[in-house]
């Protein structure tokens, strides 16, 4: 599974599990590593939801390192 470039480095993978799907994404932002696990029992795992969550966490990590209040959010 691929994601658009985020932070300094990013990686993602997706796998089928019993009665559902599972995906994870990790992003390195400066000195912070964020990790998102996304699972659905419906079998309908949308990559856009994983991307939105990963982007929110990486943006918030960058905001914290910049000394600003976190304001990044995720949309589904």
Give per-residue pLDDT as tens, 44-70.
667 788 899 999 999 999 999 999 998
Contact 21, 41 (CB under 8 A): no
**In a domain? residue 76:** no
> What domain count does the chain have?
1
Q: Would you state the pLDDT for residue 6?
A: 92
**In a domain? residue 33:** yes
Q: Which two tokens stand for residue 47?
A: 């990559």
1 against 26, higher pLDDT: 26
The sheet with strand 32-40 has its strands ordered as: 9-17, 20-29, 32-40
- By C-alpha distance, which of 17, 76, 12 is closest to 43? 17
Provide mean pLDDT across the span 23-49. Answer: 85
**In a domain? residue 40:** yes
pLDDT band for position 43 (cuts 50, 70, 90): low
């Amino acid at each position: 599974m691929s994601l658009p470039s985020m932070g300094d480095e990013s990686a993602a993978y997706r796998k089928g599990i019993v009665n559902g799907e599972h995906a994870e994404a990790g992003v390195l932002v400066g000195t912070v590593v964020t990790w998102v696990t996304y699972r659905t029992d419906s079998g309908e795992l949308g990559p856009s939801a994983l991307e939105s969550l990963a982007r929110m966490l990486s943006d918030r990590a960058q905001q914290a390192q910049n000394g600003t209040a976190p304001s990044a959010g995720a949309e589904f």
